[in-house]
Structure 1
Amino acid sequence: MKQIFFIWLLLVVSHSLQGASGKEQGPAKPNIVFIFTDDQRYNTIHALGGHEVITPNLDALVAGGTTFTHAYNMGGWHGAICVASRTMLLTGKSLWQAQKIERDLTGLVSGEQLWVQQMKKAGYETYMTGKWHVRTDPSKIVDHVVNERPGMPNQTPEGYNRPLSENDTLWTPWNTKFEGFWKGGRHWSEVLADDAVSFMESAAKKPEPFFMYLAFNAPHDPRQAPKRFVDQYPLDKISVPASYKDLYPFREEMGAGAGLRDEQLAPFPRTRYAVKKQIQEYYASITHLDEQIGRILSALARTGKLENTYIIFTSDHGLAVGHHGLMGKQNMYDHSVRVPLVISGPGIPKGEKRSQQVYLQDVASTAYQMAKVDKPGEVFFNSLLPMARSAKVKSPYREIYGAYMNLQRMVRTDRYKLIVYPKAEKVMLFDLQKDPEEMQDLAGHPSHRAVLEEMKTRLTRQQALLGDTLNLEPVFRSPARR
């Protein structure tokens, strides 16, 4: 793993020096490699605040590009948040518009064009491997599809409600008998890297630009990795989240109770030991994933395509894994809606960060601009390139909106976040500058009454903009709202 990292770091430096010389290589249009993970929280990269996580290759990608530190998923219309996230990504539609076409999405619905189709139309040779998870056949719209995966690897009964105690050792992440990521004999993350390397070696012999959609299932559960990765995370070195709770008080009303699959992974009530074991396996899965990304990046450089290639890295949403007493992503806290987002390539500043609030689905519009492709007129999301090139460019979004079914709503600014649970008649307000872990609810404080009203206005404005018809007025009028 260290060897891969140093090779890639050397190539990043080489990329910078050659770019400065003014020499251009490759086709007129740049190649675009999109790397997409599943369930990866925004701070699970060492270089981005994940001090307990080992990610040398992603750290090198951060050093070689520009990171958007406040990128969000807009939410979901059922428990599989990844379906909504990917449907928005591929169609360019915002949450509730994407929901309308998700049920019968075929790639061409009422003139709809998917992101990959637009790249193909623009002359790109298109590749896809890994998780797809939208209701259309990728082989009908992508030139090369290898090892298309389902929404998640199969879980087994042994993977739930665990560990019950320190003596509960029935499940181990490296035991291939549970299949999951091991189904087929080789870990799915390794298979994806194999596929990507093969694609790149083939593409290196062709003049056409390529667009690669590389979608890992990891670090989604079952969080499996070879033993050597788990061994890098001794339990006594893993911290329990500051927001840890044995039970989240509004779990049933906000749709994250015992009936939700994600929440069944750990015992109720939560225990610190169970949370640490889940985090251990989560981190091990990410480090194993990082090694595969290193293989992909090294192959890109080895085939001579690095100089004219943009790399976009992000995830479809985050994951709680013990924060606030929750395990899944079906909530509006930053640990579940906020993701890492890194861009590198020609003209992208190196080692810089941007704090503007954006949506992760902006990466498709970003790729359009990279490829000099006209963005379809009905696409909601926006290119990140202007902000990547200059920290002074403002976000196109006045605030960020979030929703989960009709059970949760959220709006946030650079400083404040408002969360609403309609069934519980609960409104929460957080000062994100003073309370980044979102632990101190200020909704009932008289000193924040004006802020609360402002955030309500912002949420109402976003609902109107996005076609959200859920009526929240009864919640705001209820005496129980605080």
Structure 2
Amino acid sequence: MTATPARPNILILMVDQLNGTLFPDGPADFLHAPNLKALAARSARFANSYTASPLCAPARASFMSGQLPRRTRVYDNAAEFTSDIPTYAHHLRRAGYHTALSGKMHFVGPDQLHGFEERLTTDIYPADFGWTPDYTKPGERIDWWYHNLGSVTGAGVAEITNQLEYDDEVAYHAARKLYDLSRRQDERPWCLTVSFTHPHDPYVARRRFWDLYEDCPALDPVVPPIPFARQDPHSQRLMLASDHDKSVVTPEDVRRSRRAYFANISYVDEKIGELLDVLERGRMAQDTIVVFVSDHGDMLGERGLWFKMNFFEGSARVPLMISAPGLPAGRIDMPASTLDVLPTLADLASLDLSGVMPWTDGESLVPLARGTGGRGPVPMEYAAEGSYAPLVALREGPWKLVLCELDPPVLTNLDEDPHERVNRAADPACAPVLVRMTEAMNARWDLSRFDAEVRASQARRHVVYEALRNGAYYPWDFQPLQKASERYMRNHMDLNILEDSQRYPRGE
């Protein structure tokens, strides 16, 4: 009888708002990211991978569940991720894995675990409904939580910030967890997700990383600012949402913002290097799948736009690299999605997803990486701040089509026009492509119904939030608890057993 092979461990390294165009085949040459470059060399590198939705909470719920926002109903950064939606943490835990999270996942609602057996830190963002947009008030800015351009005009250097403090803590707890796992006191395979908030704005970096980019050749955007009147309608809405007319952004502001952003990629690279080093020294590297991914990108001043919330490449394209035993390393150009991570992990860990696949929008990337299969057109959705109605997009081959009931269609050919300067929707030569892709998108999405669902969700949440902030307030934010009496040496422990069990490797 053949023994069932041991399932691999899984280490997921997630970053926030990392522009995928900077990862054409691993990190771009100008980036000081030696650890990510070494990881890229042994990974399947999906050069054209896309977020399911270019905003934190929707993107992360979709990443974890393999479902688009319309299925998860996590439309924006204040929409509840409900407990009945299986995530990769649920699937792996059900199959016998230990599942843990260190860092950000932006869960909204009272369930702050979503399949994780253990959560090592709190989140950096609130878990309630306070950031709910309102489609009944198009153009209204809520200044205390909407992005403005202060991140750009205030770019620079600091040794400690809110976000640096958070990511320092995330890395510390993740490293400590890896040391615990290396002791082999739990025989189960494990999945540890480590999720950093950098290089998300504000664009502020530590001096030693900032200094790496003094002569960086990429400090100026490729596409210069486009005047407001010439921007497409959604870009105009995003500029209004970021209060663009209240700030004067100079070319030096742009350069300093991009410099700090690149510096924070180097900061995250160092943290990732520390974790991969612990994995290696704990003798777990050979049996561990390593996934590197971002939730969405950042426009970084291209076209005069910042942050995300649109389907341009800078915002929607993300790095995705997977290093796994038996998975060939190399670059894959066929478009892929963060929706694909769940079914890919299930494939690599030999998990059966047949019961939920009818409700899953992702596809396993294992056949694509092995050269034995492909991937269908990649869908995206956006229905959050800065939008007045849902937007949807489809990437098929070189083509990307964006539809919204309020706007003319936007069709681009990314092979011919990688910076998306020309909308081909009105080009007679592209009419067959436009018709074919529009029909496919209309079959997938009912935009009027989608809009009604989003509006109903927003209305419900506004009522609930106002009610729950009256009287006694119970926060949903995750409160990590530490069992101090079970750490180090205590009187209910046998010192001899303790010292031996906490040492790894043993006998050396």
Q: TM over 0.5, yes or no?
A: yes
Which whole-Å CA distance do the structure 2 matches of 1:422 and 1:231 have between them? 46
Larger Rg: 2
Offset at residue 139 of structure 1 (A): 5.0
Which whole-Å CA distance do the structure 2 matches of 1:60 and 1:336 have between them? 25
CA contact (8 A) 1:45 1:53 kept: no
CA contact (8 A) 1:159 1:171 kept: no
Which whole-Å CA distance do the structure 2 matches of 1:45 and 1:299 have between them? 25
Which whole-Å CA distance do the structure 1 matches of 2:148 and 2:449 have between them? 39
> In structure 2, do the counterparts of structure 1 residues 265 and 318 end up closer, same or farther at CA, with 3 Å as the change threshold?
farther
- Secondary structure in structure 2 of the residue aligned to 1:362: helix
Structure 2 residue 68 is the aligned partner of structure 1 residue 94: yes
Question: Residue type matched to 1:65 in 2?
Answer: S
Which whole-Å CA distance do the structure 1 matches of 2:400 and 2:416 have between them? 12
User: Which range is displaced more, 443-452 or 113-122?
Assistant: 443-452
Residue-by-residue CA offset, 1:15-69 (whole Å, 9 max, x unaligned)? xxxxxxxxx9x98111001111110111334853623322111111110111111
Offset at residue 117 of structure 1 (A): 2.2
> What TM-score do you get using the length of structure 1 for normalisation?
0.78
User: Which range is displaced more, 97-106 or 139-148?
Assistant: 97-106
Structure 2 residue 19 is the aligned partner of structure 1 residue 41: yes
Which whole-Å CA distance do the structure 1 matches of 2:379 and 2:66 have between them? 16
Aligned to 2:150: 161
> In structure 2, do the counterparts of structure 1 residues 119 and 407 end up closer, same or farther at CA, with 3 Å as the change threshold?
closer
- Secondary structure in structure 1 of the residue aligned to 2:198: coil
CA contact (8 A) 2:46 2:333 kept: yes
Residue-by-residue CA offset, 1:167-225 (whole Å, 9 max, x unaligned)? xxx7633153xx3224xxxx333322222221111111222211101111111112333
> In structure 2, do the counterparts of structure 1 residues 64 and 456 end up closer, same or farther at CA, with 3 Å as the change threshold?
same
Structure 2 residue 369 is the aligned partner of structure 1 residue 369: no
Say which of 193, 200, 221 aligns to 2:178: 200
Q: In the comparison of the two structures, how many residue pairs are matched?
A: 421
Note the aligned Cα RMSD (angstroms): 3.3
Q: Percent identity?
A: 23
Structure 2 residue 187 is the aligned partner of structure 1 residue 214: no
Equivalent residues in 2 for 1:276-425, closer than 5 Å: 276-350=255-329, 352-375=330-353, 376-377=355-356, 378-390=359-371, 392-395=372-375, 397-405=376-384, 406-423=389-406, 425=407
> In structure 2, do the counterparts of structure 1 residues 56 and 338 end up closer, same or farther at CA, with 3 Å as the change threshold?
same
Residue-by-residue CA offset, 1:288-307 (whole Å, 9 max, x unaligned)? 10011111111101100111
> What TM-score do you get using the length of structure 2 for normalisation?
0.75
User: Which range is displaced more, 143-152 or 248-257?
Assistant: 248-257
Aligned to 2:121: 147
Equivalent residues in 2 for 1:450-465, closer than 5 Å: 450-463=432-445
Offset at residue 149 of structure 1 (A): 2.0
Which whole-Å CA distance do the structure 2 matches of 1:74 and 1:439 have between them? 23
Which whole-Å CA distance do the structure 2 matches of 1:428 and 1:465 have between them? 16
Which consecutive unaligned segments of at least 5 residues does structure 2 have? 127-143, 453-508
> In structure 2, do the counterparts of structure 1 residues 72 and 466 end up closer, same or farther at CA, with 3 Å as the change threshold?
farther
Residue-by-residue CA offset, 1:228-280 (whole Å, 9 max, x unaligned)? 101111266334222221545346645743443xx358975643222211111
CA contact (8 A) 2:392 2:404 kept: yes
Question: Residue type matched to 1:278 in 2?
Answer: S
Which whole-Å CA distance do the structure 2 matches of 1:409 and 1:106 have between them? 23
Say which of 425, 429, 433 aligns to 1:447: 429
Say which of 421, 438, 446 aligns to 2:420: 438
Aligned to 1:191: 169
Offset at residue 465 of structure 1 (A): 11
> In structure 2, do the counterparts of structure 1 residues 269 and 332 end up closer, same or farther at CA, with 3 Å as the change threshold?
farther
Which whole-Å CA distance do the structure 2 matches of 1:319 and 1:225 have between them? 16
Which whole-Å CA distance do the structure 2 matches of 1:27 and 1:196 have between them? 27
Say which of 164, 174, 181 aligns to 2:158: 174
Offset at residue 131 of structure 1 (A): 0.2
Which whole-Å CA distance do the structure 1 matches of 2:213 and 2:74 have between them? 43
Which whole-Å CA distance do the structure 2 matches of 1:129 and 1:341 have between them? 19
> In structure 2, do the counterparts of structure 1 residues 227 and 114 end up closer, same or farther at CA, with 3 Å as the change threshold?
same
Question: Residue type matched to 1:96 in 2?
Answer: R
- Secondary structure in structure 2 of the residue aligned to 1:150: coil
Which consecutive unaligned segments of at least 5 residues does structure 1 have? 1-23, 165-169, 471-482
Equivalent residues in 2 for 1:71-90, closer than 5 Å: 71-75=49-53, 81-90=55-64
Aligned to 1:244: 224
Which whole-Å CA distance do the structure 2 matches of 1:444 and 1:113 have between them? 42
CA contact (8 A) 2:383 2:391 kept: yes
Offset at residue 410 of structure 1 (A): 2.2
> In structure 2, do the counterparts of structure 1 residues 256 and 329 end up closer, same or farther at CA, with 3 Å as the change threshold?
farther
Which whole-Å CA distance do the structure 1 matches of 2:181 and 2:262 have between them? 33
CA contact (8 A) 1:266 1:275 kept: no
Aligned to 1:121: 94
> In structure 2, do the counterparts of structure 1 residues 50 and 428 end up closer, same or farther at CA, with 3 Å as the change threshold?
same
- Secondary structure in structure 1 of the residue aligned to 2:21: coil
CA contact (8 A) 2:235 2:305 kept: no
CA contact (8 A) 2:103 2:196 kept: yes
Offset at residue 337 of structure 1 (A): 0.8
Which whole-Å CA distance do the structure 1 matches of 2:308 and 2:182 have between them? 39
Which whole-Å CA distance do the structure 2 matches of 1:290 and 1:133 have between them? 22
